[in-house]
Amino acid sequence: MASPRPLDMLLRLAREKYDGCAKAVAASNLLIENAKRQLTLLQEYRYDYLNRLQGHMASGMIASDCQNYQQFIATLDGAIGQQSMVCHQAEEKLSAARQALKMAHHRLSAYDALIKRERAAQIVVRNRVDQRICDELASKRSPNFAPV
């Protein structure tokens, strides 16, 4: 079995790299979706908890219960801040993955173009050889007419 040509091997490696980058973009998108979903849930929970606190305060509540509500809301605020950071980091990761995908696509396209040019040049050479062979055969078949 013949060893693979260097350009074919580079093209194969570039395709593998591109596929890996595409998977990284998909994983980053999923990570962002999950992070945003978590952030939304935390924000909704905070909103609901604030509404409960306001309802209890309107009907009257003891100070220790109010303090517990406020501490829990502060804890939710901290969790929301952390989840916002997770969302931001996930977006940065997606941006980097998209950039890597773009570079991998560029490299893959460049190798593909090189291979196409190489094949076109091989066809031209083959056609010239075939034409030369045909010309030689034609010249051998035609009788040499010498003037009388």
pLDDT digits (tens, 9 = 90+) for 95-136: 999 999 999 999 999 999 998 998 899 999 999 998 998 888
What pLDDT is recorded for position 2? Answer: 46
Give the separation between CA 144 and CA 16, rounded to whole angstroms.
60
Integer distance in angstroms from the first to the last C-alpha of the chain?
59
Q: What is the model's pTM?
A: 0.71
Residue 10 or 103, more confident: 103
Cα–Cα distances (Å) from 68 to 65, 71, 72, in that order, read: 5, 5, 6
What pLDDT is recorded for position 144? Answer: 59
**CB of 69 closer than 8 Å to CB of 56:** yes
pLDDT digits (tens, 9 = 90+) for 16-34: 999 999 999 999 999 999 9
Domain ranges within the chain, ordered by starting residue = 7-140
Q: What is the mean pLDDT of the chain?
A: 90
**CB of 104 closer than 8 Å to CB of 10:** no
Fold of domain 7-140: Helix Hairpins (1.10.287)
Residue 75 or 64, more confident: 75
